[in-house]
Protein backbone atom coordinates (compact mmCIF):
# COMPACT_ATOMS: atom_id res chain seq x y z
CA UNK A 1 0.00 0.00 0.00
CA UNK A 2 2.84 2.43 0.76
CA UNK A 3 4.22 1.98 -2.79
CA UNK A 4 0.92 3.14 -4.34
CA UNK A 5 0.89 6.25 -2.16
CA UNK A 6 4.47 7.09 -3.13
CA UNK A 7 3.67 6.68 -6.84
CA UNK A 8 0.69 9.05 -6.57
CA UNK A 9 2.76 11.63 -4.69
CA UNK A 10 5.54 11.40 -7.27
CA UNK A 11 3.16 11.86 -10.20
CA UNK A 12 1.77 15.04 -8.62
CA UNK A 13 5.13 16.72 -8.06
CA UNK A 14 5.70 19.62 -10.42
CA UNK A 15 2.04 19.76 -11.50
CA UNK A 16 1.07 23.23 -12.61
CA UNK A 17 -1.69 25.04 -10.71
CA UNK A 18 -3.35 28.18 -12.06
CA UNK A 19 -5.55 30.38 -9.89
CA UNK A 20 -8.22 32.68 -11.28
CA UNK A 21 -8.82 36.19 -10.06
CA UNK A 22 -11.45 36.48 -7.33
CA UNK A 23 -14.74 37.35 -9.03
CA UNK A 24 -17.17 39.45 -6.99
CA UNK A 25 -20.81 38.44 -6.96
CA UNK A 26 -22.27 41.73 -5.79
CA UNK A 27 -24.10 42.66 -9.01
CA UNK A 28 -25.34 41.25 -12.29
CA UNK A 29 -27.27 38.11 -13.17
CA UNK A 30 -24.16 36.06 -14.02
CA UNK A 31 -20.41 36.16 -13.41
CA UNK A 32 -17.73 34.36 -15.44
CA UNK A 33 -14.24 32.96 -15.14
CA UNK A 34 -12.78 32.91 -18.65
CA UNK A 35 -9.60 31.82 -20.41
CA UNK A 36 -9.30 28.47 -18.65
CA UNK A 37 -6.23 26.76 -20.16
CA UNK A 38 -6.94 23.87 -22.55
CA UNK A 39 -4.69 21.48 -20.59
CA UNK A 40 -6.80 21.68 -17.41
CA UNK A 41 -8.10 18.36 -16.06
CA UNK A 42 -9.47 19.47 -12.66
CA UNK A 43 -11.04 22.70 -11.42
CA UNK A 44 -11.90 23.52 -7.83
CA UNK A 45 -14.35 26.42 -7.62
CA UNK A 46 -14.62 28.06 -4.19
CA UNK A 47 -17.52 30.26 -3.10
CA UNK A 48 -17.50 32.82 -0.28
CA UNK A 49 -20.79 34.32 0.93
CA UNK A 50 -22.60 34.19 -2.44
CA UNK A 51 -26.17 35.49 -2.39
CA UNK A 52 -28.88 36.75 -4.75
CA UNK A 53 -31.89 39.00 -4.36
CA UNK A 54 -34.35 36.29 -5.41
CA UNK A 55 -35.36 32.67 -4.99
CA UNK A 56 -33.94 30.96 -8.08
CA UNK A 57 -31.43 28.18 -7.42
CA UNK A 58 -27.78 29.06 -8.12
CA UNK A 59 -26.10 27.00 -10.84
CA UNK A 60 -22.64 26.64 -12.40
CA UNK A 61 -22.42 26.33 -16.18
CA UNK A 62 -19.46 25.24 -18.32
CA UNK A 63 -18.58 26.93 -21.58
CA UNK A 64 -16.77 26.52 -24.87
CA UNK A 65 -15.38 29.43 -26.92
CA UNK A 66 -16.49 31.88 -24.20
CA UNK A 67 -20.15 30.81 -24.36
CA UNK A 68 -21.83 28.84 -21.56
CA UNK A 69 -23.70 25.66 -22.45
CA UNK A 70 -27.18 25.90 -20.95
CA UNK A 71 -28.55 22.38 -21.52
CA UNK A 72 -27.50 18.74 -21.33
CA UNK A 73 -26.34 18.60 -17.70
CA UNK A 74 -27.21 15.38 -15.89
CA UNK A 75 -27.31 15.53 -12.12
CA UNK A 76 -29.14 16.37 -8.94
CA UNK A 77 -28.78 18.39 -5.78
CA UNK A 78 -30.33 18.24 -2.35
CA UNK A 79 -30.59 20.59 0.58
CA UNK A 80 -31.07 18.44 3.65
CA UNK A 81 -33.76 20.51 5.35
CA UNK A 82 -35.76 20.76 2.10
CA UNK A 83 -38.04 17.96 1.03
CA UNK A 84 -36.82 15.97 -1.94
CA UNK A 85 -34.01 16.14 -4.44
CA UNK A 86 -33.94 18.52 -7.40
CA UNK A 87 -32.96 17.12 -10.81
CA UNK A 88 -31.52 19.71 -13.19
CA UNK A 89 -30.33 20.02 -16.78
CA UNK A 90 -29.35 23.69 -17.25
CA UNK A 91 -26.24 23.65 -15.05
CA UNK A 92 -24.63 22.07 -11.99
CA UNK A 93 -26.94 22.92 -9.08
CA UNK A 94 -25.02 24.66 -6.29
CA UNK A 95 -27.67 26.12 -4.01
CA UNK A 96 -31.06 24.41 -3.76
CA UNK A 97 -34.24 25.58 -1.98
CA UNK A 98 -32.97 29.13 -1.92
CA UNK A 99 -34.61 32.09 -0.26
CA UNK A 100 -33.74 35.72 -0.92
CA UNK A 101 -30.65 36.78 1.04
CA UNK A 102 -29.46 33.17 1.59
CA UNK A 103 -25.67 33.37 1.90
CA UNK A 104 -23.78 30.32 0.66
CA UNK A 105 -20.14 29.25 0.88
CA UNK A 106 -18.44 26.05 -0.23
CA UNK A 107 -16.72 24.28 -3.11
CA UNK A 108 -17.55 22.52 -6.35
CA UNK A 109 -14.93 20.27 -7.97
CA UNK A 110 -14.95 19.53 -11.70
CA UNK A 111 -12.91 16.66 -13.19
CA UNK A 112 -12.39 15.85 -16.88
CA UNK A 113 -13.65 12.27 -17.30
CA UNK A 114 -13.04 11.86 -21.03
CA UNK A 115 -10.97 14.25 -23.13
CA UNK A 116 -12.28 12.68 -26.36
CA UNK A 117 -15.88 13.63 -25.58
CA UNK A 118 -15.04 16.62 -23.33
CA UNK A 119 -17.09 15.04 -20.54
CA UNK A 120 -16.74 16.59 -17.10
CA UNK A 121 -18.07 15.33 -13.77
CA UNK A 122 -18.65 17.55 -10.79
CA UNK A 123 -19.59 17.37 -7.14
CA UNK A 124 -19.84 19.91 -4.40
CA UNK A 125 -21.08 21.01 -1.02
CA UNK A 126 -22.41 24.39 0.06
CA UNK A 127 -23.23 25.61 3.58
CA UNK A 128 -25.45 28.53 4.57
CA UNK A 129 -24.90 31.29 7.10
CA UNK A 130 -28.61 32.01 7.62
CA UNK A 131 -29.68 28.45 8.50
CA UNK A 132 -28.01 25.28 9.81
CA UNK A 133 -28.13 23.39 6.53
CA UNK A 134 -26.01 22.17 3.60
CA UNK A 135 -26.60 21.38 -0.07
CA UNK A 136 -24.90 18.51 -1.87
CA UNK A 137 -24.83 18.15 -5.64
CA UNK A 138 -23.22 16.04 -8.35
CA UNK A 139 -23.52 15.46 -12.06
CA UNK A 140 -21.84 15.38 -15.46
CA UNK A 141 -21.76 17.34 -18.71
CA UNK A 142 -20.37 16.57 -22.17
CA UNK A 143 -19.27 19.75 -23.95
CA UNK A 144 -19.27 20.59 -27.67
CA UNK A 145 -15.56 21.47 -27.41
CA UNK A 146 -12.74 22.15 -24.97
CA UNK A 147 -13.79 23.86 -21.73
CA UNK A 148 -12.55 27.46 -21.52
CA UNK A 149 -14.97 29.18 -19.14
CA UNK A 150 -17.36 28.69 -16.23
CA UNK A 151 -20.38 30.82 -15.41
CA UNK A 152 -22.14 31.34 -12.09
CA UNK A 153 -25.80 32.24 -12.58
CA UNK A 154 -29.28 31.28 -11.43
CA UNK A 155 -31.94 29.06 -12.97
CA UNK A 156 -33.59 31.36 -15.51
CA UNK A 157 -30.74 33.87 -15.18
CA UNK A 158 -32.95 36.64 -13.76
CA UNK A 159 -31.99 37.03 -10.09
CA UNK A 160 -29.20 39.52 -9.32
CA UNK A 161 -26.18 38.64 -7.20
CA UNK A 162 -25.89 40.87 -4.15
CA UNK A 163 -23.05 39.48 -2.00
CA UNK A 164 -19.88 37.40 -2.02
CA UNK A 165 -17.27 36.20 -4.46
CA UNK A 166 -15.84 33.08 -6.07
CA UNK A 167 -12.62 31.87 -7.64
CA UNK A 168 -11.13 28.77 -9.25
CA UNK A 169 -7.94 26.77 -9.02
CA UNK A 170 -7.15 24.85 -12.22
CA UNK A 171 -4.77 21.94 -12.47
Predicted confidence at residue 78, as pLDDT, reads: 86
Instruction: Note the CATH number of domain 13-170.
Output: 2.60.120
DSSP label at residue 8: H
pTM, whole model, 2 decimals?
0.89
3-state percent breakdown (helix, strand, coil) of the chain, nearest 5: 5, 55, 40
Q: Convert the pLDDT of each residue in 114-163 to its tens digit.
A: 999 999 999 999 998 877 888 899 999 999 999 999 999 999 899 999 99
Provide the sign of the torsion angle of the four alpha carbons 56, 110, 18, 41, taken in this order: negative
Mean pLDDT, residues 80-101 taken together: 77
Predicted confidence at residue 82, as pLDDT, reads: 65
The alpha carbon of residue 133 and the mean position of all alpha carbons in its chain are separated, in whole angstroms, by: 19
Parse the chain into domains and list their residue ranges: 13-170
Amino acid sequence: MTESINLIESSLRGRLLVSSDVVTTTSGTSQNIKNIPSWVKRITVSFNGVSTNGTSNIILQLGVNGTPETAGYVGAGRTFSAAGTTVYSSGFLLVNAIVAARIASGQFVLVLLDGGTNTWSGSGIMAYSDVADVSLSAGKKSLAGILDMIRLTTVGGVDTFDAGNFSAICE
